[in-house]
């Protein structure tokens, strides 16, 4: 009799657990609840707008627990490539000395900034890359950029043969997802984290033959 009661009790408990599991929210419902909570918790303030909570295709696909399919990867890269804007005057290089300052500067944007492209923003490039051999503190998330232009044969930026590399590097700085769908690199131009002149200075740091990076 006692054993029968135990069996019945375990059966009842199992039924309750199964019923509880059956009523748990689905992953989609949990995601919807999280999004609703975030939208209710944030507000527009200065340059920080609530629309930042809206993910584009690349952000959504690359933050999933599964990597995007080949078709989605290509779509992300194509959409990103279409956002790249070349320099308005056709000139890609600025001042490499200013580029080094930007690379060293880790200041990000804050809601109190006047606009989304301010000269006080930094690139924080050393956080992910080695750039100059004299620098002893750098991250390794990204590849070394030491001798970037020299290795790639950019000895004269005005030579038409250098244009493909200039365009590629500019594109990587503008919107890195154009070349690697799930790139962790900030989309400096696309996200308006830097203006055109700042990007030119970084280009010079990497590609100007006179830059210490290429010595």
Give the pLDDT confidence of 85-99 residue by residue, as tens digits.
Answer: 999 999 999 999 999
CA nearest to 31, candidates 11, 15, 48, 53: 53
Share of the chain above pLDDT 90, in %: 61
pLDDT higher than 80, residue 119 = no
Q: The whole model's pTM is what?
A: 0.81
Q: CA–CA separation, 176 vs 191, rounded Å? A: 11
> pLDDT at residue 16 above 60?
no
Task: Provide mean pLDDT across the span 19-40.
Answer: 79
* Cα 152 → chain centroid: 24
Domain 96-214 has CATH 1.20.1250.20: no
For residues 48-54, give the mean pLDDT: 85
Quick: pLDDT tens for 154-204: 999 999 999 999 999 999 999 999 999 999 999 999 998 899 999 999 999
Confidence of residue 1 (pLDDT cuts 50, 70, 90): very low
Could you tell me if 178 and 84 are in contact, meaning their C-beta atoms sit under 8 angstroms apart? yes
* Domain range list for the chain: 2-66, 96-214
């Amino acid at each position: 009799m006692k054993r029968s009661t135990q069996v019945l009790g375990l059966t009842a408990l199992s039924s309750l657990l199964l019923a509880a599991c059956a009523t748990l929210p689905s992953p989609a419902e949990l995601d919807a609840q999280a999004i609703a909570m975030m939208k209710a918790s944030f507000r527009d303030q200065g340059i920080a707008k609530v629309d930042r909570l809206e993910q584009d295709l690349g952000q959504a696909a690359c933050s999933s627990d599964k990597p995007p399919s080949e078709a989605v990867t290509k779509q992300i890269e194509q959409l990103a490539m279409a956002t790249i804007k070349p320099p308005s005057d056709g000139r890609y290089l600025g001042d490499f000395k200013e580029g080094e300052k930007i690379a060293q500067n880790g200041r990000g944007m804050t809601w109190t900034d006047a606009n989304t492209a301010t000269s006080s923003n930094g690139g924080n490039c050393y956080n992910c890359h080695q750039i100059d051999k004299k620098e002893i503190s750098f991250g390794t998330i990204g590849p070394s950029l030491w001798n970037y232009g020299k290795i790639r044969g950019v000895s004269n930026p005005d030579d038409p043969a250098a244009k493909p590399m200039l365009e590629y590097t500019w594109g990587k700085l503008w919107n890195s997802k154009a070349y690697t769908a799930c790139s962790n690199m900030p989309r400096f131009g696309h996200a308006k984290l830097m203006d055109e002149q700042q990007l030119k200075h970084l280009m010079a740091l990497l590609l100007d033959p006179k830059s210490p990076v290429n010595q």
